[in-house]
């Protein structure tokens, strides 16, 4: 029931939407099922929007299931960082001409760790996510935002820098949804409960069945 999560295009009639996990090639990008990227200019080229991502640093981009990512996303990874504990931040070493001898050690470069996007996250158009950020399950990131700090689960956030605008639900319901983890259900169970998942009736949501 439903689209095949192993197909590139969930809907063959809408070729600007792809399931990301089926178009990535880098082992340090990990994406869950049903997470899609929507880009009329070539959604298949999602990896081009993950920049400064170098194997020798070992950082990963990890995105959960059922995320919706709009056109213009940019995940900036740790390779974009310059040495900051010296007089100058200028990267002489990459310019050549003998300047290579001033290549910084890896431990001299700022390292923020993996970038993690939870499950059921909606990211609007032209959002930039900086290295090491964690966006919690169920969060919404407004268009044109720059995400420089962690965003808690089920928060609406936006701006440059991105700030929390409000919580989507009360703390009790957020805790319930984080424990429910509906995104880990099999396809049949999700379909069975899709009416509740798509409902604004919070009582119906709290009565989701097994």
Catalytic residues: 82
User: Cβ of 19: how many Cβ atoms within 10 Å?
Assistant: 22
- Residue environment code for 127-165, b if the CB has 16+ CB neighbours within 10 A, otherwise e: bbbbbbbbbbbbbbbbeebbbeeebebbbebbeeebeee
**Which helix (DSSP H) or strand (DSSP E) does residue 36 occupy?**
strand 36-38
How far apart CA 141 and CA 153 sit, in angstroms, is 11
């Amino acid at each position: 029931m439903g689209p095949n999560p192993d197909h590139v295009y969930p809907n063959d009639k809408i070729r600007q939407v792809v399931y990301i996990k089926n178009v990535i090639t880098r082992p340090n990008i990990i994406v869950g099922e049903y997470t899609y990227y929507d880009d009329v200019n070539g959604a298949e080229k999602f990896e081009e929007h993950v920049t400064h991502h170098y194997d020798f640093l070992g950082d990963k981009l990890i995105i959960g299931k059922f995320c919706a990512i709009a056109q213009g996303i940019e995940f900036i990874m740790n390779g974009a960082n310059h040495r900051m504990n010296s007089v100058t931040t200028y990267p002489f070493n990459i310019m050549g001409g003998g300047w290579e001898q001033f290549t910084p050690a890896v431990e001299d470069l700022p390292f923020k760790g993996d970038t993690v996007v939870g499950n059921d996250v909606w990211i609007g158009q032209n959002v930039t996510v900086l290295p090491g950020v964690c966006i919690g399950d169920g969060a919404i990131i407004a268009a044109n935002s720059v995400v420089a700090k962690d965003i808690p689960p089920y928060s609406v956030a936006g701006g440059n820098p991105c700030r929390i605008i409000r919580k989507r639900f009360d703390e009790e319901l957020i805790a319930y949804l984080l424990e429910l983890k509906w995104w880990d259900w099999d396809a049949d169970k999700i379909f069975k409960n899709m009416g509740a998942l798509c409902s604004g009736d919070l009582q119906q949501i709290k009565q989701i069945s097994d």
